Structure 1
């Protein structure tokens, strides 16, 4: 009798998982995965600016295990109504990667230029 093992990875599954990974562009630490993309304000990607006028292109993810957070949650100049933000950094090299947002749920707004799909 043929049995199916749900934990078994096929070669194709393995390739898909590998291609799905997003790394810190500074140190190559695994930060998040494409399958964890989410939409906020009807979009996955956003162009936003801070009070100093710096523009960021960010992408939203429901999980980012490679990101640590620092600072007290703040709702000042939040880009997502009803959410507080904290600065997010790479757990390996401490590079600023974006922000963690907390409100009705928790998600990450990560700076696109700080992520790469290639592990160096």
Structure 2
């Protein structure tokens, strides 16, 4: 049996006579901002739908946004390059071994929310860093 609790939400409401104009404008702005965020398109983790980046964060590296590479075990990855990925964390120390981009070291990139392997973070002294994300692990919504 599930216990029922009284509804105390009325205790947290501000009576209309005590609201000032700033308060009502603030509520309207918050609702508008939420709708705008919902309508914007984002690059997301396919597993958990965590927002990773904006489509505007797509970049071209070595002449292309999209690349196809195989790792030393023969597993083929189709990746897209992104400049600012806020929804990823990096795992392990940087490695220069088998780097797909000359002069760059890489670290594994995982989703902050579900820890799914999403790709790699590439960095190089004196060059801009970027993420190479595995395209079939992403969705755009």
TM-score bin, normalised by smaller chain: 0.7 to 0.9
Q: What do residues 20-68 of structure 1 show as CA deviations (whole Å, max 9, x unaligned)? A: 3011000010011110111111000001110000000000000100000
Q: Which runs of 5+ in 2 are unaligned?
A: 1-31
Q: Distance in 2 between matches of 1:20 and 1:77?
A: 34
The unaligned stretches of length 5 or more in structure 1 are 1-10
Tell me if structure 2 keeps the 8 A contact 1:20–1:35.
Answer: no
- In structure 2, the CA distance between the partners of 1:101 and 1:18, relative to structure 1 (3 Å rule), is farther
Offset at residue 17 of structure 1 (A): 8.6
**Distance in 1 between residues matched to 2:84 and 2:134, nearest whole Å:** 14
Higher relative contact order (CA 8 A, sep 6+): 1
Q: Distance in 2 between matches of 1:17 and 1:93?
A: 21
The counterpart of 2:54, out of the listed 33, 40, 47, is 33
Question: In structure 2, what is the equivalent of residue 4 of structure 1?
Answer: none
More strand by share: 1
- Correspondence 1:105 to 2:128: yes
Q: What is the Cα-based RMSD across aligned positions, in Å?
A: 2.0
> What TM-score, normalized to structure 1?
0.82
Contact 1:23–1:115 at 8 Å: present in 2 too?
A: yes
Where do residues 1-120 of structure 1 align in structure 2 (5 Å cutoff)?
18-103=39-124, 104-118=127-141
When normalised by structure 2's length, the TM-score is 0.71
Larger fraction in helix: 2
